[in-house]
Amino acid sequence: HPNVVPLLGASWDSPEPLMLSPYMVNGDVLDYLVSCKKRGVEVDKLRMIHNIAAGMHYLHSVRNIIHADLKAQNVLVENDGTCRVTDFGTSKILSVPPERSTGHRAGTAAYMPPERLEGGGATKEGDVYAFAITAYRVRGPVLHVQADVSDLLQRI
């Protein structure tokens, strides 16, 4: 799919599984927006948000995959400005029995819905929540600030 970074290969021979994908020279969507702003380049942010939505729709509807860690840093940008969803290390394939799938609780707290922060598992609805935050970050003012949520997580 044009809005998902393709998997070129994988290895399970090392202690940590490895996935190989193409190098995306523009980096993540926030880095790209900051770079464009510095250079005075106009960006079609709504097109970028549509790209992310299309990639997530493909994952949910065609591949039956929950991303489980969608965030602006996991959206890479092609040279033509096309956005592609990446980083499937915490993803969940819905056809895999729960005892065989791993990584559902991992993710980025700032993009998680409240029920997930309280210990619930990854869901398509949680991906939609993360998409809304990602879209807000893309559409809003260009700020590259990462909030520290470790204190919040300890209080929950």
The three-state DSSP-derived secondary structure of 73-92 is HHEEECCCCCEEECCCCCCE
Query: Confidence class of residue 86 from pLDDT cuts 50, 70 and 90?
Result: very high
Residue 152, domain member (yes or no): no
Residue 86, domain member (yes or no): yes
The domain that contains 123 carries what CATH number? 1.10.510.10
> Which one of 13, 28, 44, 69 is the catalytic residue?
69
Active site residue 127: no
Percent of residues, the chain, with pLDDT higher than 90: 63
Q: What are phi and psi of 57, to 5 degrees?
A: -60, -45
Residue 45, domain member (yes or no): yes
Q: Residue 77 and residue 85: Cα distance in Å, rounded? A: 9
In this predicted model, what pLDDT tens digit does every residue of 93-120 receive, in sequence order?
A: 886 655 444 444 578 888 999 999 888 9
Residue 153, domain member (yes or no): no
Domain count, the chain: 1
Residue 17, domain member (yes or no): yes
Residue 116, domain member (yes or no): yes
Domain that holds residue 121: 9-140
Q: Which of 105, 109, 33, 110 is nearest to 76 (CA)?
A: 33
Q: Which of 20, 6, 133 is nearest to 78 (CA)?
A: 6
Residue 130 predicted with pLDDT over 70: yes
Residue 149, domain member (yes or no): no
DSSP bridge partners of 66: 92
Q: Which of 94, 73, 65 is nearest to 7 (CA)?
A: 65
Please, which residues have CB within 8 angstroms of residue 36's CB and are 6 or more apart in sequence?
Answer: 42, 43
- For the segment 21-32, the average pLDDT, to the nearest whole number, is 95
Residue 145 predicted with pLDDT over 60: no
Q: What is the mean pLDDT of the chain?
A: 86
Query: Confidence class of residue 141 from pLDDT cuts 50, 70 and 90?
Result: confident
Determine the pLDDT at residue 97.
54
DSSP bridge partners of 18: 11
Q: Residue 55 and residue 75: Cα distance in Å, rounded? A: 10
- For the segment 53-82, the average pLDDT, to the nearest whole number, is 96
Query: Confidence class of residue 17 from pLDDT cuts 50, 70 and 90?
Result: confident
